[in-house]
Amino acid sequence: MSKELLIRYENVEIRQKELVVLKDVNLQVHKGEFIYLIGKVGSGKSSLLKTLYYELLISEGEAMIYDYNLRKLKRKEIPLLRRKLGIVFQDFQLLIDRNIQKNLEFVLKATGWKSKDEMEERINMVLKEVGMSTKGYKMPHELSGGEQQRIVIARALLNAPDLILADEPTGNLDVETGTQILELLRRINEQGTTIIMTTHNLDWVSKFPAKTYVCENNRLTCLVPDIDIEIEKEIESKTETVS
């Protein structure tokens, strides 16, 4: 039995203003997959993610996410689409004028939650899931980088999305902390959430193997179709061209 198809891109072209970032993009993502997007800075990884949550428009091709056609999306459908996605940013983007509890409450209110009791229950649930149960009263600046990223992941989980988009989630973290964040994302994936993660760190791909695409020369290529014993050799062959 085949898994549910969440994303289908066929011959997609992505531009930043008049500059072609990626062309002839063909991508299928099924429910429950963990996918890496790797490539040099400026190779199009983040631009591809931005098209998925409709921050960047697609100039050519066919693009579907869930049941939404990204070439024909109506303005009123954008919030509905984004509620189905969890987004993890490299630079956290937490609201610095309020504590963690209020940060998460702000997101729930913005996405239509009304009941204070239900919001508190959901916040407690996601904080527990990311190992931050006792940090709700803290201000963002009182947390370490790794703790802030755990809060960002908790924020992404609030509306129980089928899909999380993680843009360089370990980019500002040391190796040990980054490993803990990646282990957390893998555990979330094992519970059924699909994750697409951009990274320029090939060590993660060899340490935590998964389907891998490389953005290079304006193209998206499947570098590691499936996990196999040749993965390290395939990655090493790309080390010279991908940083």
Per-residue pLDDT reduced to its tens digit, 147-177: 999 999 999 999 999 999 999 998 888 999 9
Low-confidence ranges of the chain (pLDDT < 70): 1-2, 224-243
Q: Which of 137, 160, 183 is the last residue of a domain?
A: 160
Same domain for 198 and 213, yes or no, is yes
The total of structural domains in the chain comes to: 2
Same domain for 136 and 210, yes or no, is no
**pLDDT value at position 225?**
62
Same domain for 184 and 117, yes or no, is no
With respect to residue 99, please indicate whether it lies within any of the assigned structural domains: yes
Q: What is the CATH number of the domain that holds 6?
A: 3.40.50.300
pTM of the model: 0.87
Same domain for 2 and 68, yes or no, is yes
Query: Domain containing 188: what range?
Result: 1-84+164-243
φ and ψ of 54, to 5 deg: 65, 35
With respect to residue 89, please indicate whether it lies within any of the assigned structural domains: no
Per-residue pLDDT reduced to its tens digit, 185-197: 999 999 999 999 9
